[in-house]
Amino acid sequence: MTQHLAPARAIVLVLDGAGIGELPDAADYGDEGSNTIGNVARTAGLKVPTLARLGLSRLVDLGDASIAERPTGAFGRMAEASPGKDSVTGHWEITGLRLDQPFPVFPQGFPPEILRPFEARIGRTALANKVASGTAIIEELGDAHVETGQPIVYTSADSVFQIAVHESVVPLDELYRWCEVAFEIACQAHGVGRVIARPFVGESGAYTRDSARRRDFSLPPRDETLLDRLTQAGVPVVAIGKIEDLFAGRGISRSTHTRSDAEGLDVVEQELAATPRGLIFANLVDLDTMYGHRNDPAGYAANLERLDQGIARLLPRLTPRDVLFITADHGNDPTTPSTDHSREYVPLLVTGALVRRVDLGTRPTFADLGQTLSELFGVGPLANGTSFLGDILASERTGRTAH
């Protein structure tokens, strides 16, 4: 049996909304033609030399000569096996939990059995109650909200109950209390995936969302995840960004919420110094919230380029026993008419001193990543997924390492 060198730490970076091409069932979701990173590169131009060297250029056309470069690590792409295209479903599947049924969505707005009890509990009627872009809805109804104090309630193609209020009209503590009420009604009673607090600031005609004070209230995972296994085994799980919210705090040892991708990468760097073993699990959300949902390919390209530079700064800080995984949870193509997530393949890039150059092909489920991490940490097989650990690790017997 081949013996493998033992990594002591894994770092998983989820580039939220970084899809690389439509899945075979994309038409069922209205996402034909979606290819988030490919279409951004084609329409706005894209220079991401670090990600290209890690193998991204072998997975999607980046529009430059970097495709000829030899990847420095393992690379492949993953398909989502669960129905849906939201962050909760994507992250749960990454950690080994595959859903058989999607979370409910509400293309016509929330029915009376959800909205009326919510309004009764908070003592105010709601504005909107429709599918909408978050930036567009505050432009449309921000003034009405400021005048009346009525919350703006809206949803999207995902299973989310979103509440937007101006911070000068409704204090944050009150907004969060309203979200807890909505969580009891919409999530716990009717199976909605998440409630999201969407505070905004500014004056009429120039309202902006306060992403730093956004909060997500999510249902806990329906079954065991990798995070549960790790914490039960005493392996530290450090969550960065909205990871804690997506797992309702379950299976997490320590969490840091962040206000931007730049801060998220800074926290990852700090944790590389502070956490010598375990899983560092980060969601970098700006590609999705700031640019994908706003149909801003130029902004998306600029942010991905900043992420590329940030990842380049992280790489020298990896120890010889670290393995870094870079992936995504869904697509969010800013070049298509839709402002919602898109049903796409996601990249799978793996690097570290122990990692061989290898093409991992197309993985049939995000759960392959969770199963690989489960084997890496020796916490037993998960219910879903096939590990590729043996494909990526250099063996003690051959002494092979990446060069």
Please report, for the domain that includes residue 160, its CATH number. 3.30.70.1250
Q: What is the DSSP string of 284-325?
A: E-HIIIIIITTT-HHHHHHHHHHHHHHHHHHGGG--TTEEEE
In a domain, 161, yes or no: yes
* pLDDT higher at 183 or 259: 183
Distance CA 74, CA 391 (A): 9
In a domain, 169, yes or no: yes
Residues 166 and 27 in one domain: no
- DSSP H/E element including 75: strand 74-78
User: Would the CA dihedral through 318, 328, 105, 116 be positive or negative?
Assistant: positive
pLDDT given for residue 398 in this prediction: 31
Residue with tokens 């859903």: 99
Is the confidence at residue 68, as pLDDT, over 60? no
pLDDT given for residue 64 in this prediction: 72
Residues 83 and 228 in one domain: yes
Residues 202 and 233 in one domain: no
Q: Which of 185, 200, 218 is the last residue of a domain?
A: 218
Is the confidence at residue 27, as pLDDT, over 50? yes
pLDDT band with cut points at 50, 70 and 90 for residue 66: low
Residues 386 and 243 in one domain: yes
| Alpha helix (H) residue ranges in 183-335 | 226-232, 243-246, 261-274, 286, 297-314
Residues 241 and 340 in one domain: yes
Q: Which domain holds residue 160?
A: 112-218
Specify whether the backbone of 255 is left (phi greater than 0), alpha (psi in -120 to 50) or beta.
beta
Is the confidence at residue 281, as pLDDT, over 90? yes
Strand pairing class (194-201; 322-327): unpaired
Report pLDDT digits (tens) over 303-348: 999 999 999 999 999 999 999 999 999 999 999 999 999 999 999 9
Report pLDDT digits (tens) over 82-124: 999 999 999 999 999 999 999 999 999 999 999 999 999 999 9
In SS3 terms, 2-22 reads as CCECCCCEEEEEEECCCCCCE
Give percent of the chain above pLDDT 90: 90
Q: Which of 160, 184, 218 is the last residue of a domain?
A: 218
Paired with 165 in beta bridges are 199
Report pLDDT digits (tens) over 36-50: 999 999 999 999 999
Distance CA 103, CA 86 (A): 9
Using CA atoms, how far residue 15 sits from 1, 18, 26, 179, 359, in Å, is 36, 6, 20, 26, 20
pLDDT given for residue 2 in this prediction: 42
In a domain, 326, yes or no: yes
Cβ count within 10 A of residue 111: 11
Residues 57 and 162 in one domain: no
In a domain, 250, yes or no: yes
pLDDT band with cut points at 50, 70 and 90 for residue 395: low
Residues 258 and 356 in one domain: yes
Distance CA 157, CA 86 (A): 9
Distance CA 31, CA 267 (A): 34
- Tokens representing residue 319 in the block: 């120890």
Q: Is the pTM of this model over 0.85?
A: yes
Strand pairing class (152-155; 160-166): antiparallel
Residues 126 and 73 in one domain: no
In a domain, 260, yes or no: yes
Taking the alpha carbons at both ends of the chain, their separation in whole angstroms is: 25
Residues 357 and 249 in one domain: yes
pLDDT given for residue 401 in this prediction: 31
Residues 257 and 371 in one domain: yes
Residues 83 and 47 in one domain: yes
Q: Answer whether 31's CB lies under 8 Å from 344's CB.
A: yes
In a domain, 3, yes or no: no
Q: Answer whether 366's CB lies under 8 Å from 343's CB.
A: no
pLDDT given for residue 254 in this prediction: 96
Residues 383 and 237 in one domain: yes
Question: What number is the average pLDDT over the span 72-82?
Answer: 97
333: domain CATH number is 3.40.720.10
Using CA atoms, how far residue 180 sits from 152, 177, 308, in Å, is 16, 5, 37
Q: Write down the mean pLDDT value for the chain.
A: 94
Count of domains for the chain: 2
Distance CA 93, CA 386 (A): 12
Q: What is the DSSP string of 344-366?
A: B-EEEEEESTTBPPEEEEEES-T
pLDDT band with cut points at 50, 70 and 90 for residue 3: very low
In a domain, 274, yes or no: yes
Question: What number is the average pLDDT over the span 261-276?
Answer: 97
Distance CA 200, CA 102 (A): 30
> Among 145-149, 213-217, 249-253, where is mean pLDDT lowest?
213-217
Distance CA 87, CA 330 (A): 7
In a domain, 105, yes or no: no
Q: Answer whether 346's CB lies under 8 Å from 21's CB.
A: no
Distance CA 392, CA 174 (A): 49
Report pLDDT digits (tens) over 175-196: 999 999 999 999 999 999 999 9
Is the confidence at residue 362, as pLDDT, over 80? yes
DSSP state of 22: B
pLDDT band with cut points at 50, 70 and 90 for residue 20: very high
Q: Which of 218, 247, 265 is the last residue of a domain?
A: 218
pLDDT given for residue 394 in this prediction: 72
pLDDT given for residue 352 in this prediction: 97
